[in-house]
Structure 1
């Protein structure tokens, strides 16, 4: 069982593409270094933000391997990438991606049961994975695509009780559910990182472990400060949380193109190319929105956190 899952900020990584629509590994290396230089505590590769559904299995394996290699032990790396419907095919995907040396393979919760199947069916498939992949350390991700499957606190307690799970990206955006899930995993190796940034500070106060969400592609260092200092400077932490919560309006706005433009402003050699969105839909007004968001991020760091 891996013990390298630290609390804090785990960005859901983007996948840069060349103008020819190939994975841009030069830009991906820059991106890995940018996240780490901003102080993040871990990296979540081959996820929805990585456009994993638009990557071949070979690309998913290569991206996971590359990120793990370039992180070079500075932070742990988890990855997902089982996008098939059949459990037998998912097992093969998991085997190949786990072989890259990642610290946990993150199970997408909607892959283990169909929308009309109950949690008993989900548990049966999870048991099969645990049995057939005894060497794998797992995580969980309540990914909203192709459908949103939230785990009940009871099922999450079962997962945590196996001792095989270390990481969870929780996506309910419901503080009541988050509270019950935190109770369910207490005292186990499973750590809970929320995806929905309006609840980050509240969740930390309840015993949560940090943030793993889209806005860590725009404001990673602000989330790092919040997760590391919320107990020692409560007043600044609340002001910062209020700002980060308001920034949530940018989360789904022309993403991931918007995040790639933000990275261009940060000096990374990243194209606006994406396999899931058209860069031409990212208009001049959207450029201005991201430019202004970046300036406000810089203002918050200079005036509030210094």
Structure 2
């Protein structure tokens, strides 16, 4: 199994789940979508995440999707996957072990499912310690998932958990570059990587020491996020990097609107054979939203040609 390498900046896609129009998981298209990410240069894969519609999947489907992605990746890149879905810590620990058994590099813990919103950091810390005790030998990661609510870890909390040697991955959603810097300062560990979800400060985050990016924008143009991870500090490409950063900022709203339907539609335009079906109620995919995505596709195509960023065909 290939290990996560935080010393080499990389893009970790938050993977979509392709469905057939009848709502069943389309495993043939999941194979092709996984290969699409890999061909774009992804450094790893985050399966069974919010973009995967993980809360709309059964436990059996979650495990099958993870197993499928691991098998398609064939050890070429590490795979991480969510393993906590609420309930008593002992119940969460059992599913964590099932996910790890499928061959992932780390099992991801949803921060908002170890303590409810009104509960204190001390409660969260105690339950995390319980989870660690109940899953000996299993590498874990944190995900500050917006659902059921976004529970952010403080730099001190994260540093303490990373110091145990068990936490090797963190998907950060704080959207605060100063918090990112503080978290990085307290987690100088060769086996730990912080992956930033917020593209509004992607370049600054990479320069501050983030191990890479893990963002929904990679479900539109993964090769662009790979390019940014590879060139963020290239002094000969400063103008282009700044342009790409601004492109991501200016188009953030359209990429979040009725997501993931919009990203699946965008991928269709790119030649990826994927239905726009989603099990999640994200609102109507109106003609106005479709036109906005069409404009995004045209703008990205111009940017891609301008900077000669390789095209990935689904």
> Could you tell me the TM-score, scaled by structure 1's length?
0.95
Shifted more, 166-175 versus 112-121: the winner is: 112-121
Shifted more, 214-223 versus 53-62: the winner is: 214-223
Name the SS of the counterpart of 2:52 in structure 1. Answer: coil
Instruction: Write the distance in 2 (CA, Å) between the matches of 1:247 and 1:296.
Output: 10
Deviation at 1:285, TM superposition (A): 2.4
1:266 to 270, 279, 285: 270
Counterpart check, 1:302 vs 2:298? no
- Alpha carbons 1:52, 1:81 under 8 Å: kept: no
Name the SS of the counterpart of 1:49 in structure 2. Answer: helix
Instruction: Write the distance in 1 (CA, Å) between the matches of 2:294 and 2:74.
Output: 32
- Alpha carbons 1:5, 1:166 under 8 Å: kept: no
Other-structure match for 1:140: 142
Task: For structure 2, list consecutive stretches of 5 or more residues without a partner in the other structure.
Answer: 310-314
Other-structure match for 1:243: 247
Deviations 1:176-227 (A, max 9, x none): 2111111111235221111110111011111111110111101211111111
Name the SS of the counterpart of 2:251 in structure 1. Answer: helix
Name the SS of the counterpart of 1:185 in structure 2. Answer: coil
- Alpha carbons 1:143, 1:171 under 8 Å: kept: yes
Instruction: Write the distance in 2 (CA, Å) between the matches of 1:289 and 1:269.
Output: 21
Other-structure match for 1:192: 194
- Alpha carbons 2:3, 2:77 under 8 Å: kept: no
Other-structure match for 1:256: 260
Instruction: Write the distance in 2 (CA, Å) between the matches of 1:2 and 1:166.
Output: 14
Other-structure match for 2:92: 90
Instruction: Write the distance in 2 (CA, Å) between the matches of 1:211 and 1:68.
Output: 20
Other-structure match for 1:20: 22
Shifted more, 36-45 versus 185-194: the winner is: 185-194
- Alpha carbons 2:171, 2:195 under 8 Å: kept: yes
Deviation at 1:4, TM superposition (A): 2.6
Task: For structure 1, list consecutive stretches of 5 or more residues without a partner in the other structure.
Answer: none
| Count of residues in correspondence between the two structures | 305
- Alpha carbons 2:82, 2:107 under 8 Å: kept: yes
Counterpart check, 1:178 vs 2:219? no
Name the SS of the counterpart of 2:94 in structure 1. Answer: helix
Superposition RMSD on alpha carbons, in Å?
A: 1.7
Other-structure match for 1:276: 280
Deviation at 1:270, TM superposition (A): 1.1
